[in-house]
Structure 1
Amino acid sequence: MISNLAKPLIILLFLISNSHASEVSFHGKFVQGGIIIGHSSLAEKVFFDGRELQISNDGNFIFGFGRNHKKSSIIKLKFPNKTETYNVDIKKSDYKIEKIDGLPSKMVTPGPELYERIKNDRVLIGQALKEDYQSEKFTNKFIWPSKGRISGIFGSQRILNGIKKNPHGGLDIAAPTGTPIKAIADGKVLMAEKGLYYTGNIVIIGHGYKLKSMYIHMEDINVSKGDKVSQGDVIGTIGMTGRATGPHLHMNIYWNRIKINPELLLEM
């Protein structure tokens, strides 16, 4: 068990063998929605809950926990002469639940005439999330994508007319239409599309090792699929396209198609 899991941390685990001592570090929060950047100079393979992770040339690797991740996880590191296994506790997060009744039905459930359009939109997004981009800069500090008021947080959920809607999977930043949106890190544009039903104008950027950022409800898009971007590049502007009631940026962070709390990444 690793203690102090609720705090930002760097954990050093000293693994002693007959011939050498290796150092393993984990940086981040072991909490639902958290993201961890690990490092080992000598591990040949790293597994997270049975899934083998990619290891960079510098010995870095990354993994994360979804909104409802289980109470514990297993991290296994294979070295030339032995294997080390660690059981780590994952702190439970508390999420805001909001109930709203008396809404018109069209605001709760889209009409059947929209089903095919929504399905096609999801296919486009899914294809982009399947793509990967090889970059080893995922260990660099990430920057906030825009300035504004935080109007929506990760994990919150609305119950509309008694129907549970999908939990809020990202971070909302409210700001006037036209406010610049910046790439939070170096990467490659995996998707840049306009006019999707829910998301409106959308950009997805791959940052390497299955880490991706998604920007939606944009007004303008300044990039195209396949473009390479640098941290701080203006990729577009805040808007209220798609299903949005006011101008804001909704940003999702994905690791291996799992939604991660953006604030926990930006605070690292």
Structure 2
Amino acid sequence: MFGQTAPRAVVSLDGVEVTTASRTGWFFIGFDRDAPPITLLTVSRDGETFQHRITVAPGDFDIQRIDGLPADQVSPQDPALLARIGEEAKRKAIGFASLDDSDGFHHGFLPPLDGWRLSGRFGGQRILNGQPNRPHYGADLAAPTGTPVYAPAPGRVSFAETGLHFEGGLILIDHGQGVVSAYLHLSRIDVRTGQSVQPGQTIGAVGQEGRATGPHLCWRLKWRGRNLDPMLMLRNPL
């Protein structure tokens, strides 16, 4: 959810400060897959405080079974590969921790593709090669390799690399307030870290690099460490 209040007001959830409203007053908060059913929103500025109790509806998550993956894409054992994965994780963490002082999220998102088939829903329990794995924190949008991928909203690229073990080509875009969208398995990257992007701008192309069994865009969204469903940000939900 997002809303508008006094510029630079402090926003808290359940007594914990989570963000500060932008210079135009916009703020964003997100609820992850296993959020509690009730949370208390508090907005404070210049001695004034507003509180609102929020009811969070439970999600509906399926079970996704994927077989035929290489063993090192499910349970990597090689020390050199594990070291590489660890270094990649550190670089990705920096990108996800980006906190741009902007509010490009507040008009919602445009679709990142012109057309797709939803091949994997957000939050589904993953069973990879018969082994239970962590939930899938993205929406899988199946489309042919080379299909252009677009920026869904204004933002700044906080990470852009190819050749990652799990993600292949990966782009992260910071839309402000810690709202970071992610684009995985790209066959091509057309932007660089630090670059500003606008809605509808081509940032890369669909591929099947990394842990993927076919061409698709795994589209993800994080807010200050919480995994969110990016499909909920679409201006015109499908």
Q: TM-score, normalised by structure 1?
A: 0.79
Q: Deviations over 1:5-30 (max 9, x none)?
A: xxxxxxxxxxxxxxxxxxxxxxxxxx
Q: Is the 8 A contact 2:159 2:193 kept in 1?
A: yes
2:43 matches 1:77: yes
Between the aligned partners of 2:19 and 2:31, the Cα distance in structure 1 is 14
Between the aligned partners of 2:69 and 2:208, the Cα distance in structure 1 is 21
Equivalences for residues 217-228 of structure 1 within 5 A: 217-228=185-196
Cα-Cα RMSD: 2.3
Between the aligned partners of 2:55 and 2:160, the Cα distance in structure 1 is 38
2:103 matches 1:140: no
Between the aligned partners of 1:231 and 1:157, the Cα distance in structure 2 is 31
> Residue 47 of structure 1 corresponds to which residue in structure 2?
12
Between the aligned partners of 2:208 and 2:77, the Cα distance in structure 1 is 21
> 1:159/1:206 Cα in 2 relative to 1: closer, same or farther (>3 Å)?
same
CA apart distance, 1:38 = 1.6
Q: Is the 8 A contact 2:100 2:177 kept in 1?
A: yes
Between the aligned partners of 2:141 and 2:64, the Cα distance in structure 1 is 19
Q: Is the 8 A contact 2:6 2:21 kept in 1?
A: no
> 1:145/1:54 Cα in 2 relative to 1: closer, same or farther (>3 Å)?
same
Gaps in structure 1 of 5+ consecutive residues: 1-35
> 1:117/1:102 Cα in 2 relative to 1: closer, same or farther (>3 Å)?
closer
Equivalences for residues 158-237 of structure 1 within 5 A: 158-160=126-128, 163-237=131-205
Q: TM-score, normalised by structure 2?
A: 0.89
2:18 matches 1:37: no
Between the aligned partners of 1:44 and 1:62, the Cα distance in structure 2 is 12
Could you tell me the percent identity over the aligned residues? 36
CA apart distance, 1:105 = 5.1
- Aligned positions, number: 233
2:96 matches 1:129: yes
Q: Is the 8 A contact 2:41 2:51 kept in 1?
A: yes
Q: Is the 8 A contact 1:43 1:78 kept in 2?
A: no
> Residue 262 of structure 1 corresponds to which residue in structure 2?
230
Q: Deviations over 1:84-122 (max 9, x none)?
A: 333222111121024578988556312334211111111
Q: Is the 8 A contact 2:73 2:211 kept in 1?
A: no
The equivalent position to 2:33 in structure 1, one of 62, 67, 88, is 67
Q: Is the 8 A contact 2:69 2:213 kept in 1?
A: no
Between the aligned partners of 1:98 and 1:188, the Cα distance in structure 2 is 32
> 1:86/1:260 Cα in 2 relative to 1: closer, same or farther (>3 Å)?
same
Gaps in structure 2 of 5+ consecutive residues: none
> 1:254/1:85 Cα in 2 relative to 1: closer, same or farther (>3 Å)?
same
Look at both structures and tell me which one has the larger radius of gyration over its CA atoms: 1
Between the aligned partners of 2:207 and 2:129, the Cα distance in structure 1 is 27
Between the aligned partners of 2:134 and 2:212, the Cα distance in structure 1 is 15
Between the aligned partners of 1:76 and 1:115, the Cα distance in structure 2 is 42
Q: Indicate the SS of the match to 1:137.
A: coil
> 1:43/1:256 Cα in 2 relative to 1: closer, same or farther (>3 Å)?
closer
Question: 97-106 vs 147-156, which deviates more?
Answer: 97-106
Q: Is the 8 A contact 1:202 1:217 kept in 2?
A: yes
The equivalent position to 2:58 in structure 1, one of 92, 109, 119, is 92
